[in-house]
Amino acid sequence: MNLKIMRQTNATIDSEIIVSWLSDKSKSSRITYGSAVKQFLTFTSKTLAEVRVEDIQQWVRSFELRNYSPYTIKVKICTIKSLLTYCYEVGYLPTNVGKRVKPPNPKQGLSQRILDNREVEKLISATSPGRDCPKGTALGERNRLLFSLIYACGLRVSEICALTWSDLTPRGDGGQALIYGKGQKSRIVLIPEGLWQRLMELPRSEKTDAVFYSYRHKPLDRTWVHKLIKKAAEKAGVNSNASSHWLRHSHATHALEGGCDLHLLQQSLGHADLGTTQKYLHARPDQGSSQHLSNNLW
């Protein structure tokens, strides 16, 4: 028996309910999710109330035909499913057609998204200032510190873009940063002594409190960081798919390999679920059951 959902929203048009759905998400998530929803509604040329299962399936098929990765397709499907579920639960829509659409389950490719120590070093060393660097910044120093801090502290790109000088505090010979992560949760990460000292030497802007800013004195956004890393990866000769999240993955894996406690890593990365952190235990296992089989067959 279908129970009628009590209406819990005053929204009367799609744009209002979308704003409501996005309201409790981080700034970077609002941009990403909002873009996906706009893309979907443009593709269907329908209102949310008119959307049917086939519309979502055809949208997904359009990405498959353009060879989008299963992971990208999964993110887009989950975004639309989240919006439709929200609309249904607050009574804006009478049914949830997104419930019938299953996102793909791409193979766990975490091990392919981890740089070894030498590759991380090459990537960080391959930075160049670019036209967006503020005047007075030493050749490539801002970008080197940007990449170094992402790797050293395991930060998300949204977290590094939002970092301000007010978030930084000295701690012993090094320092610490107050990080605002997913779900509006905050955590403290430690910054190694050498990196902290170099960070303190960066020029500061009178127009923004952002640690990493452009020549226009605006905080760097994720698009700029993405471009900078792609350019450095190409110059360094490492995997062209490398991204800021690869540095975060590498941080987690190298920390575990160095003996870091799993719960400490969970806290440092800002994972709500320990299971998410545990994936790094299996990303590059030192041992496997195959090592215990007879090798007479090969």
**Same domain? 145 vs 249:** yes
Q: What is the reported pLDDT for 241? A: 84
Domain termination site, one of 70, 100, 130: 100
Catalytic, 182? Answer: yes
**Same domain? 233 vs 176:** yes
Q: What is the reported pLDDT for 298? A: 45
Catalytic, 248? Answer: yes
Catalytic residue (one of 30, 187, 245, 279): 245
Q: What is the reported pLDDT for 107? A: 59
**Same domain? 252 vs 125:** yes
Query: How far is 184 from 165, CA to CA, in rounded Å?
Result: 19
Is residue 21 helix, strand or coil? Answer: helix
Report how many domains make up the chain: 2
Catalytic, 187? Answer: no
Catalytic residue (one of 76, 144, 249, 271): 271
Residue (of 224, 169, 161) closest to 199 by Cα position: 169
Catalytic, 245? Answer: yes
Q: What is the reported pLDDT for 220? A: 92
Query: How far is 226 from 146, CA to CA, in rounded Å?
Result: 12
Catalytic residue (one of 25, 30, 74, 182): 182
Catalytic residue (one of 156, 222, 249, 254): 156
Residue ranges of the chain whose pLDDT lies below 70: 1-5, 106-112, 128-140, 282-298
Catalytic residue (one of 248, 249, 251, 254): 248
Tell me the CB-side half-sphere exposure of residue 107, using CA atoms within 13 A.
Answer: 5
**Same domain? 76 vs 159:** no
* Amino acid in position 73: I
Domain ranges, residue 241? 111-281
Residue (of 125, 145, 238) closest to 195 by Cα position: 145
